[in-house]
Amino acid sequence: MYFIPSRLKLASEEDVVNRLRSIIKTFDKVWGYSVKFLGKKSLRPDILYTTQHYLESDKMGYVLYSILYRKYYAPIIVIRGYNGLLYIFDGHHRARAYLWLRELVDAFLLEALSYKPRYFSMLKDIEFINPSERVNEYINVLRHMVNIIRFIEKKHNRIARIWRERIPLNKLYVTQPLVKKAGYESRDMPPPLVYRYEDKYFIIDGHTRVCLHLLRGRKTVDSIVFTLNKHIGLIKTAEALGYMKVSKSYCSK
């Protein structure tokens, strides 16, 4: 795995506990809110509200990858505030990942019923931005993938469902002519991004990476898969290409 910039360092559960203690002290001494700790709860991400305007797309990609492939885990911090709404105070990227995974997210839950942030919106509506800081190629690929997913979500006004799946290479359909890129070492190759619609799998990002798996004699590829359960534009591209599957002839062009 490539070196990860300090800005993208993932919080541990211990980090979150320390952050929780700091928040409780701040509420009491600085803001004057009466705050109660309600314990660790499992919450539905779709009912959570954000307290920041955007997520960083490279960190979003890295968090999603780490949860799917490295069993990354850290609770978020949520405050039940004004009108009983649940506001994310820490862990926006983790919460958005669990919204995609359609799983409950563990949260340290605080209650301060007079708390109302200056800005809030539904978690599903939060925007992604690309920070100006340069990142390595691996992180850049992950950033590109989540930007694709978010673009398709917004176009169709739906939230994607995402999961990890090992897919037989002979079940994958291409959505573009092959554009060969610089090769990857086997150990550092990012997973491809695949869209599933009905019983078909369409490569959205990573045609070259999939071909490298095929040309190295592998039968399957460990993939990040998503769906909106809807026929999207890239499927029309696959149709125009004649529903071409990944093959040695395609990969050798």
Number of H helices, E strands in the chain: 7, 13
Measured CA to CA, the distance from residue 27 to residue 240 in angstroms comes to 58
Percent of the chain with pLDDT over 90: 77
Within a domain: residue 139?
no
83, β-bridge pairs: none
Within a domain: residue 133?
no
- For the ranges 31-35, 84-88, 212-216, which has the lowest average pLDDT? 31-35
CB 227 within 8 A of CB 161: yes
Q: Are residues 10 and 124 in the same domain?
A: yes
Q: Are residues 14 and 64 in the same domain?
A: yes
Q: Are residues 121 and 30 in the same domain?
A: yes
CB 86 within 8 A of CB 124: no
The H or E element that residue 240 is part of is helix 233-240
Q: Are residues 168 and 235 in the same domain?
A: yes
Q: Are residues 120 and 220 in the same domain?
A: no
Sheet holding 36-43: strands in order across? 36-43, 105-111, 76-80, 86-90, 48-50, 121-122
Instruction: Please say if the pLDDT value at position 3 is more than 70.
Output: no
CB 226 within 8 A of CB 195: yes
Q: pLDDT value at position 181?
A: 62
The H or E element that residue 64 is part of is helix 57-70
The CATH number of whichever domain residue 77 belongs to comes to: 3.90.1530.10
Within a domain: residue 135?
no
Which domain does 204 fall in, by range?
A: 160-251
Give the tens place of pLDDT for each residue, 146-183.
999 999 999 999 999 999 999 999 999 999 988 766 55
Q: Are residues 108 and 206 in the same domain?
A: no
Percent of the chain with pLDDT over 70: 94
Long-range contacts of 71-76 (CB under 8 A, 24+ apart): 72/10, 73/13, 73/106, 74/10, 74/11, 74/12, 74/13, 74/15, 74/16, 75/13, 75/16, 75/40, 75/105, 75/106, 75/107, 75/108, 76/16, 76/105, 76/106, 76/107, 76/108
Mean pLDDT confidence for 58-71: 97
Q: pLDDT value at position 160?
A: 98
Six-digit token pair at 124?
Answer: 């599903």
Mean pLDDT confidence for 36-46: 97
pTM, rounded to two decimals: 0.93
Final residue of a structural domain among 128, 149, 169: 128
Within a domain: residue 46?
yes
- Which of 76, 87, 79, 86 minimizes the C-alpha distance to 37? 79
The total of structural domains in the chain comes to 2
Q: Binning pLDDT at 50, 70 and 90, where does residue 31 land?
A: low
CB atoms within 10 A of CB 68: 18
Per-chain mean pLDDT for the chain:
92
Q: Binning pLDDT at 50, 70 and 90, where does residue 30 land?
A: low
